Structure 1
Amino acid sequence: MLMSYIILAIGGALGAILRYLVSIYFSKLFGNYFPIGTLIVNIIGSFILGFFMGLILEKLPPTSLRKIFIAIGFSGSFTTMSSLSYETLVFIIKKQYFKAGINVFLNISLCLISTFIGYLLAKKIKG
């Protein structure tokens, strides 16, 4: 049980650090007009989770250290529902309803598509 917590913490720390770096990079690249950093990390994280689910994770028990590291630790901290919610709320408060709707729509639809593509790619690689 202790090893599960350690693996979870390592995966979570790596995902959070990488999320921060990717978000900062894309904010500098595109500015703060739209939360592109959050969108990018959510798409990438969804792809990674879909890929590893298709490759190895779906057959592993929930207590598997690989599943804990990738699915809960890394992907859970790399992607960010709370930032999506906050950034959307800011748009709503500023009465930028179109941006709020686009933000939610892009995150949900592109992340679902990305997860599916990752899953299909893993299945194709597996044969």
Structure 2
Amino acid sequence: MQILLVSLGGIIGSVLRWQFIEVLPTLSLGVFTVNQLGVLVAGFVAYRMKPSENQRLFWITGFAGGFTTLSSLAFILHGSSPVSGFVYAASSLVVSMLILNILKEKAKA
């Protein structure tokens, strides 16, 4: 059952990632958007839902894991100038941490 949950979440996440990247005007905007939305989903599930093990496997491991993409981020950074690559990588990490901190603080309230 757990393999099925992770697989289904991953399929849905991967297809949605592909659609976002196809629709948005640039690869870098698409990757940034899906990575931040993936962090938002994973953080919401972890901090706001108090998920069961099966929910965690579907949403965090499957969906968010399939939706977000480190390989595309690396591809973008490799093709960027050092300065723009650093800014893109740093902003990706900073925004991700801000999203998680906001969700975690709201969960405490």
- Give the TM-score, by structure 2 length: 0.89
Note the 1:1-127 alignment, pairs <5 A: 3-27=1-25, 31=26, 35-55=28-48, 56-57=50-51, 60=52, 64-91=53-80, 96-121=81-106, 123=107
- Which structure has the larger Rg over C-alpha atoms? 1
SS of the residue 2:79 aligns to:
helix
Q: Post-superposition shift, 1:116?
A: 2.2
Q: Post-superposition shift, 1:118?
A: 3.0
SS of the residue 2:24 aligns to:
helix
The C-alpha deviation readout for 1:27-71, integer Å capped at 9, x for no partner, is 2xxx45xx01100111111111111111213xx4xxx21111011
RMSD: 1.6
Q: Which runs of 5+ in 2 are unaligned?
A: none
- Give the TM-score, by structure 1 length: 0.77
Q: Which runs of 5+ in 1 are unaligned?
A: none
The C-alpha deviation readout for 1:82-103, integer Å capped at 9, x for no partner, is 1111110111xxxx11211111
